[in-house]
A and B are shown apart, each in its own frame.
Chain A
Amino acid sequence: MYFSSWQQALQMQGHGMYVWPAYLIGIGILVVFTWVLRSRTRDALRKLQRQVEPSDQVETSDSGA
């Protein structure tokens, strides 16, 4: 590691106050976007599942008759 301690890595000779917030905000945006996409996908799958389930039941009762 270039820095001799974590404290030095955090401070980066006074530049840490610019570097770390930028990375935190940037990575935070990417993580939130991933979460939003995945939760919207799960919602879409659940909606589709609800559409499929009744027709599945109808088919079963038809075949039974």
Chain B
Amino acid sequence: MATNDANKNWRVVFKRWFHQWASPRFFFEKTASWLPFLSGMAIVLLGIGWGWGLFWAPPDYQQGNSFRLIYLHVPAASVALSIYALMAMFSLVSLVWKIKLADTWAQSCVMSGVLFTFIALMTGAFWGKPTWGTWWQWDARLTSMLVLEFLFIGVMVLRTAIEGREAANKAAALLAVVGIVNLPIIKFSVNWWNTLHQGATFKLTEKPPMPAEMWVPLLIALLGIYFLFAAFWLLETRLLILQREGKSQWLQRWMMTRYCIDNKDKDKF
């Protein structure tokens, strides 16, 4: 009986918390001070990770110095997969519970997804040439990553191609949810098929197959790129709220207090 009550309380607390964050006004006001922290962390972590990886880490015994591309390639690929999963989750929430802000959250993932997937493919090509002797191979991992790029582009194009915002959002959300089947294909492609691509760099259950001076900067760059995506996502979400809620009283009041009373902070966001 007590357990049931506790569960019910937790559900009520979670529901209230979720509904609060799903309000554009609450989200906009609460996240106002987050951007400097997220972007600052991204710059510091990426500076350390890339600097260490490019200048201090030793070269790979087989691949030589081309291995240094790992510090951009792996974080970009990893964040691209996470962005897709996040976008699909927000799309599902917007489809099932019709929460307006969930659709905005999903939309804020798309452009970052396109760019990080492109960076993963581009750095992979630059790495492939000295390692495999070719820029591109129709290999399972590379092809499934290319499909991911097309899925992101498809979601982006659907939002503009269909007339009526609600219908366009619904179509984009459906494609995002269906496209999630591509994620396990990308992840396990190196196990399911014979590919040129190497296996996972990090596994939760095993020690990394390289010395600490090689994988520590990779871990730092990985964290940095997630902070960078969080900054992009937040900036884009706040931009979309500004564009969509421009006529609402709360935003106009926020604007008045920010600009009409204190003109010194012009252009501050």
Mark contacts of B202-222 with chain A using CB atoms, 8 A cut-off: 1 yes-contact digit, 0 otherwise: 000000000000000000000
- B69 pairs with A29, CB closer than 8 A: no
Q: Does A48 contact B (CB under 8 A)?
A: yes
Contacts of A25 in B (CB 8 A): 119, 122
A37 in complex: contacting residue of B118, B122, B236, B247, CB < 8 Å: B236
How many CB-defined contacts (below 8 Å) exist between A and B?
109
User: Does B64 belong to the interface (CB within 8 Å)?
Assistant: yes
For the residues of B in contact with A, the DSSP-based class is helix
B229 to chain A, nearest CB (A): 10
B188 within 8 A of A: no
Q: B142-166 toward A: CB 8 Å interface, digit per residue (1/0)?
A: 0000000000000000000000000
A32 to B59 CA separation, bound complex (whole angstroms) = 30
Interface members, chain B 53-107 (any A CB < 8 Å): 54-59, 64-66, 68-69, 72-73, 76
What is the bound-complex CA distance between A16 and B68, given in angstroms? 10
Interface positions, chain B 226-257, Cβ under 8 Å from A, are 228, 232, 235-236, 238-239, 242-243, 246-247, 251-252, 255-256
Secondary structure dominating the interface of A? helix
**Bound CA–CA A47/B246 (angstroms):** 9
Contact with B along A14-47 (1 / 0, CB 8 A): 1110110111011001100110011011101101
B267 touches A42 (CB 8 A): yes
- Write the nearest CB–CB distance from A61 to chain B, whole angstroms: 15
- In angstroms, Cα B266 to Cα A52, docked, is 14
B65 touching A51, Cβ below 8 Å: no
- Give min CB distance, B32 to chain A, whole Å: 13
Chain B neighbourhood of A2, CB < 8 A: 55-59
Measured CA separation A55–B249 after assembly (Å): 11
Chain B CB within 8 A of A1 CB: yes
Interface residues of A (CB under 8 A from B): 1-3, 9, 12-16, 18-19, 21-23, 25-26, 29-30, 33-34, 37-38, 40-42, 44-45, 47-49, 51-53, 55-56
B residues touching A (Cβ–Cβ < 8 Å)?
50, 54-59, 64-66, 68-69, 72-73, 76, 111-112, 115, 118-119, 122-123, 126-127, 129-130, 228, 232, 235-236, 238-239, 242-243, 246-247, 251-252, 255-256, 259-260, 267, 269
Q: List, sorted by A's number, 24 A–B pairs whose CB atoms are closer than 8 Å.
A: A1-B55, A9-B55, A15-B64, A15-B65, A18-B126, A18-B129, A19-B54, A21-B126, A22-B69, A26-B119, A29-B115, A30-B115, A30-B119, A41-B235, A41-B238, A41-B269, A44-B246, A45-B255, A45-B267, A45-B269, A48-B252, A49-B255, A52-B259, A53-B260
